[in-house]
Amino acid sequence: MMDQIYIGVDVAKSWLDIYHPTRGARRIENTPGDVRSFARAAAREGAWVIFEASDGYDRVLRDGLEAARASFSRVNPRQARDFARAMGVIGKTDRVDARMLATFGQRLQPPQTPRVSPTRQVLIAQITRRRQLVEMRKQEITTLQQTTDRDSRSDIKSLILLLERRIEKVETRITEIIRSSPELAETDRRLQSVPGVGTIVAATIMAELPEIGTTDRRKIAALAGLAPIARDSGQRNGRRVIGGGRATVRTVLYLAALHASRHSTMFRAFRQKLQASGKPVKAALTATARKLLCVLNSMVADGTYFQEIQPT
């Protein structure tokens, strides 16, 4: 049996640096045509492609690999950097990164990244667009608070109003996308049966955490960046912290946990118990967000709806 070939790809806005373990390094344009040719060649060879998530610049690569039915893993950049440091690699160039990703694949053999359905791809795009618009609105609101000139304030207010209308339009489109898919619509109903989980929280989870309901609570918490990381050494027990994972999912879950701890007896009692034991508010809310995610994960896995559990 032949050993699996792992190809490392470092993604940039305009090009891809590719490292093949037997053919060495090369660079191609990050365009659909060039990427499709590479993806088809990788699929024919049975190679496994490793690349980092890179703020949307990897979208063309992922689409090409999925179309060619090639095996690939889209890995967390922090995990890849930690691996490089562990291997003693200090320098950082595109070619070095590509070679290190190939080594990362060969040594750690990460799992196949789930393929994204066309409907989910559209949902991801709309969730991303909404997040961009919300950020622009936030910036304009901050600018408005810092501006005293009347004409400038009037212009800023009109832009904020325009952004709010665009956000509403995108949110309507998000709802339409979810309703068009029986699978997404059913998952949406389950998720929103939990107090604190609304349309945007549910849509973000479905779009950016497709593993929900398919793995255990520890792995799903790690994927969302809500798993506590130990920092113990010798007899010292360091403070647990969270990190890594998918920041957008973690953010919406944190906000959902805030609302859930106000409107759900179960989550309110959980948060209050932590704070009564001396946990800071932020730590208690983070733990509540982790518990909320675990409940959602179990509901999707079991095909059930939320049931309030009265604290004893």
Contact 6, 75 (CB under 8 A): no
Q: How confident is the model at residue 6 (pLDDT cuts 50, 70, 90)?
A: very high
- Encode pLDDT of 257-292 as tens digits: 999 999 999 999 999 999 999 999 999 999 999 999
Long-range contacts of 58-65 (CB under 8 A, 24+ apart): 58/11, 60/30, 60/31, 60/32, 60/35, 61/9, 61/11, 61/16, 61/30, 61/35, 62/113, 62/116, 63/32, 63/35, 64/32, 64/35, 64/36, 64/38, 64/39, 65/39
Nearest to 15 by CA among 117, 100, 84, 94: 94
What are the start-end ranges of the E strands in the chain?
6-11, 15-20, 24-29, 48-52, 71-75
Chain-wide mean pLDDT for the chain? Answer: 90
Query: Does the pLDDT of residue 298 top 80, yes or no?
Result: yes
Query: Does the pLDDT of residue 54 top 90, yes or no?
Result: no
Distance CA 240, CA 257 (A): 19
Region 50-75: mean pLDDT is 90
pTM score: 0.76
Distance CA 80, CA 68 (A): 25
Query: Does the pLDDT of residue 2 top 70, yes or no?
Result: no
Nearest to 266 by CA among 200, 179, 168, 194: 194
Domain boundaries, the chain: 6-108, 117-180, 189-311
Region 160-179: mean pLDDT is 98
Q: Which carries the bigger pLDDT value, residue 50 or residue 95?
A: 50
Query: Does the pLDDT of residue 234 top 60, yes or no?
Result: no
Long-range contacts of 39-44 (CB under 8 A, 24+ apart): 39/64, 39/65, 39/67, 39/68, 39/70, 40/68, 40/70, 42/7, 42/68, 42/70, 43/68, 43/69, 43/70
Please, where are the H alpha helices in 109-149? 118-145
- Domain at 6-108, CATH from 3.30.420.10, 3.20.20.140, 1.10.240.10, 3.40.50.980: 3.30.420.10
